[in-house]
Structure 1
Amino acid sequence: MVGHVNEADLEWDELETGATRFRRKRLGGAADAEQLGASLYELPAGARSWPFHYHTANEEAIYVLAGTGTLRTADGGQALERGDFVALPTGEEGGHRVVNTGEEPLRYLCVSTMQEPDVTVYPDSGKLGIFAGAPPGGDSAARTVDGYYPRDAAVDYWDGEER
């Protein structure tokens, strides 16, 4: 069956913590997409999206619908404006964070593959996000493993095991 949804029929999810502030509508999940994620984002002037990160399993893309901003990448930053499409590969080179540097709301569509397991890496804070059972942006109730951990919290394979 073909999934279909109109964004006007969906409520906004809102997140505000520090400089991170946005509204989001999860279009992919609402249309019952299984291997493709899609979310409509709206950032008010001066706001930022998710902290700078990259995925090890999921490619993402951003299409700017309205407004202006900056996309922080592993290579620095680049201006964003209406009509821009940016492909974000897996791995360090796909690191990103969207910042609204304009006066008006920045509205964009973010599309991603929905592979799991996935590890998200947050270079600024030195942490990892681990997701299995459902990828980031997916159904959190379906996850069998998820959490955020210090990147340098490695332990020996045999620690805590009976030898």
Structure 2
Amino acid sequence: MARESKAVINTTDLKLDHWKQGEFYESVDTSFGTLLGLAGLGVSYNEVPPGKSGCPFHNHHVEDELFYVIAGAGEYRFGEERHAIKTGDVLGAPAGGPETAHQIINTGTAPLVYLGISTMAKTEIVEYPDSGKFLAKTNRAMTNSDDSTPRRFRHIGRPEGDLDYWDGEPGA
């Protein structure tokens, strides 16, 4: 069922999801680009409590991201540098290698509130330099040859143990 898109959304009307992972990751957030009818642009609203981050340190190979700080203060970890951030700051995270890896951390005493805006590539590779993982995903539905149910491809792994192109192929 397709939702009807709106021309205007007020962030106070958004239904936010609260989540927590371990001691360091926590956020109250939601993605809402599709509510505005946007197919090629992702938009998220994020409230991160003091001492927390909403995501691991990562870099995108295809998608660009931009963040606008609505309220609060924190630190923007970008590549090998760390930058103090505050209300009104705009942060860029262009696609690239580890030099564009980024993470927003609330180092303040109040919630850090920001918008995240990103291009929405059909396929994407994301690296996580701190843990040595990668994410390969597609943002469009694809079908399995055994089943006509549309699915999105998503795989998180580590690059250890490279396989030969023909590994596991019948008759190879």
Give 1:142 deviation, angstroms.
6.1
Task: Please report the TM-score for the alignment, with normalisation by the length of structure 1.
Answer: 0.89
1:116: which partner in 2?
A: 122
1:28-65 superposed Cα distances (whole Å, 9 cap, x missing partner): 12222100011111101111121010111100011111
Give the length in aligned residue pairs.
158
The DSSP-based 3-state class of the residue aligned with 1:8 is helix
Extract unaligned runs of 5+ from structure 2.
Answer: 142-148
Pair 1:83 & 2:91 matched:
no
Give 1:2 deviation, angstroms.
6.1
Larger Rg: 2
Task: Please report the TM-score for the alignment, with normalisation by the length of structure 2.
Answer: 0.84
Pair 1:144 & 2:152 matched:
yes
What CA distance in whole angstroms lies between the structure 1 residues aligned with 2:54 and 2:159? Answer: 22
The DSSP-based 3-state class of the residue aligned with 2:19 is strand
What CA distance in whole angstroms lies between the structure 1 residues aligned with 2:150 and 2:33? Answer: 16
**1:112 maps to amino acid:** S
The DSSP-based 3-state class of the residue aligned with 1:42 is strand
Tell me how large the CA RMSD over aligned residues is: 1.9
2:30: which partner in 1?
A: 25
Residues 26 and 53, structure 2, Cα contact 8 Å, conserved in 1: yes
1:5-154 equivalent positions in 2, closer than 5 A: 5-18=9-22, 19-92=24-97, 93-134=99-140, 143-154=151-162
Extract unaligned runs of 5+ from structure 1.
Answer: 136-140
Pair 1:156 & 2:164 matched:
yes
1:138: which partner in 2?
A: none
2:145: which partner in 1?
A: none
**2:106 maps to amino acid:** N
